Amino acid sequence: MTFLLSSWDTLLRWLGRLGRHELPLLLAMTALAGGTWAFLELAGEVLDGGTLDFDARLLLALRNPADLSDPLGPGWLEEMGRDFTALGGTGVLVLLGASVTGYLLLSGHHRTALFTVIALTGGWLLSSLLKLGFDRPRPDLVPHGSIVYTASFPSGHSMMAAVTYLTLAIILARAQPHHRLKAYLLLIAILLTVLVGMSRVYLGVHWPSDVLAGWTAGAAWASLCWLAARALQRHGRIEKDPAAGD
């Protein structure tokens, strides 16, 4: 009986440790590997022209067949699409990143603030380099509902929304003592990222495969940042999570 009770206590401690440490680590590594693999697969299909039929069908499905300049739905839905797409714009993301960095500085987390700047800047550089490397033209099947300046693949709005919102959510969640608050921040970040990407296709400024590639690349980068932050924290290079207790 004593042996069974001891084994049960050991199992409970192991499960608790798995929930706090190994499971999040496993999920982050899976997201990094899966996101990287998915992006490479999408990139290969795009270069071979394998996504053209899927892209065209979905893009046209969101338009009035009698007037391709008119997205499906009432006018307020189109305006909402512009609102959502603005959440992935450079101005909004820079303002948000600067605000969180300022919060970290004022709260005494100076090294975490520096890490945040490096993580977000690195994501922006990666997005820019990928766009230059693939140099895919923007969709020409429908009129654009938003002004565009750069190449199409991957979607910069989608990728930088994933990079910014997910990375900031991960950093801010470190300071939350309750798991439900951590999960809430992450779910909001995912929701914002999804809305930004969907709006880019709805407005006709990106092929659907551009958005999928942006999501996967952005999620992979955010996962890499989480793993880096965790490693730096364990070595005392950035401030520890006050909820971690170790």
**Under 8 Å CB-to-CB from 222, ≥6 apart: which residues?**
31, 123, 162, 163, 166, 167, 170
Neighbours of 118 (CB within 10 A): 12
Cα–Cα distance measured from residue 99 to residue 8, given in angstroms and rounded to the nearest whole number: 47
> Known catalytic residue: 157?
yes
Cα–Cα distance measured from residue 32 to residue 108, given in angstroms and rounded to the nearest whole number: 30
Q: What angle do CA 236, 237, 243 make, to 5 degrees?
A: 55
Q: Which of 109, 110, 206, 235 is catalytic?
A: 206
Measured in Å, how far apart are the chain's first and last C-alpha atoms? Answer: 32
8 A C-beta contact, residue 161 and residue 217: no
Residue 21 DSSP label: I
Long-range Cβ pairs for the range 129-138 (8 Å, 24+): 130/154, 130/159, 130/217, 131/156, 134/43, 134/46, 134/47, 136/46, 136/207, 136/210, 138/205, 138/206
Q: Which of 109, 157, 178, 235 is catalytic?
A: 157
Paired strand residues for 63? 71
Enter the tokens of residue 48.
């071979």
- Which residues are part of the catalytic machinery? 157, 206
